[in-house]
Amino acid sequence: MSSSLLTIAVMLLQYLLQPSLAKPNCASSACGTIRNISSPFRLKHHPKHCGNHELACENNVTSINVNSQKYYVKAINYNNSTIRLVHASIISNDTCSFPKSSAYAFNFTRRAASVFHVHRYATYLYDDREAWPVNFMRCPTPLKNASLFTDITRDCASNSSTHTGYSTYVKVGHMNASEVPQTCGLEVIVMTSWQRFKGLNNNASLAEIHDSLLYGFELNYGWSQTTKWGKIAIWVEFLVS
């Protein structure tokens, strides 16, 4: 590193290590069960400098738009920089209400071990060790051997999310393309951080699948320039690369 870059790095460190990085006129707010909404989040119509991530509050329910999809915010943990989201289309008293579009890993960025070096500009990260895909498959005919899947065809026959004349199956966990039965197609893939699915060795019931979707999935926002240590790591990595 040249002397000029070293000087810049030292100045940045001095700035980032100031006792207070709080923005002026940015009191915390609340919406329903989500208390202490503060940087990097802010409610709609609050000053933009109070947070990069805008939340909406409608009928005391907190929501956020991510990748052009609406999610309800179930929890924000400022200690580990995570936010837990549930797709807005899931209805609590309808076990057959499923999202019509996927919210899977390719919508977000995988949290790698050397995260500062791999995803410098990522907004949200997910940890594939603590989140599992729920795969919804549609088949033109019933599977002869469906022991590896949860058959929800009969239970959800009247649901508009399913297709008349087709069989619908669910598989929890990561799947390879070769594991999808021939003639079947993956319709929707949704992530969940429901801990009961950790180490799951058998098929989940429809009730468990629905509960997992209502629990939602966690994303890490620790990079959104809110943690001064994260800022330091990003800038130092940038300057020495």
Q: Report DSSP state, residue 171.
A: E
* pLDDT in single tens digits along all 241 residues of the chain: 556 555 555 555 555 555 445 456 788 999 999 999 999 899 998 998 898 889 999 999 999 988 788 999 999 999 988 899 999 999 999 999 998 877 654 444 444 433 332 233 445 665 667 788 999 999 999 998 888 899 999 999 876 555 567 999 999 988 888 889 988 998 898 989 998 888 777 789 999 999 999 999 988 886 544 444 444 333 333 333 3
Per the structure, the count of domains in the chain is: 1
Q: Tell me the residue ranges of DSSP E strands in 122-177.
A: 125-126, 132-139, 150-151, 167-172
pTM above 0.85?
Answer: no
Structure tokens at 230: 């994260």
Tokens of 68: 């052009």
Rounded Cα distance between 108 and 124, Å, is: 6
Element (H, E) at 85: strand 82-87
* Structural domain containing residue 159: 3-240
